[in-house]
Structure 1
């Protein structure tokens, strides 16, 4: 079997075409990888930002918990004051009632 110059030229042309196609596909894949890398970088930055905000939110939650504990303590103190006030009021009423009887 003899290989002609025409066959060699056709094979050469096919190899060149294949090379261009491979180069185009490589560039397309590279472009997609660049976009993916950029997207991943943006996602990572967003996650870092969210992580920072979460830390701030956690600190605020702790402050709210502390305030709730303070409010609970104040509520208990208020209940104690209220009971004492009721007792004092009752004693005063009794004293006023007793002074009215002596008149």
Structure 2
């Protein structure tokens, strides 16, 4: 459950400049770099009875390939862990199963 006072907290928003490039690593088995799915996870919309477009989805981008690497590969190997990751935990197979795409911001809200 969210902590006390969660509903009254201010949401921090950042405007991303037009022309900014964001990156994403995603699995080869998915054809679309902007795609996402609805699955039971702590990041997914808890309102499972809703359908698109009422239900929200989450897609991750990073401002560097390092950020993408940590999110797409290391995080999955370290859920609930606090120690550092030796690089040998990252298998060649895991790296070959990823695609990298750059996404250009072409408009502002």
Same fold by TM-score, threshold 0.5 exceeded?
no
TM-score of the two chains, using structure 1 as the length reference: 0.17
TM-score of the two chains, using structure 2 as the length reference: 0.16
Give 1 or 2: higher helix fraction: 1
Higher relative contact order (CA 8 A, sep 6+): 2
Larger Rg: 1
Give 1 or 2: higher strand fraction: 2
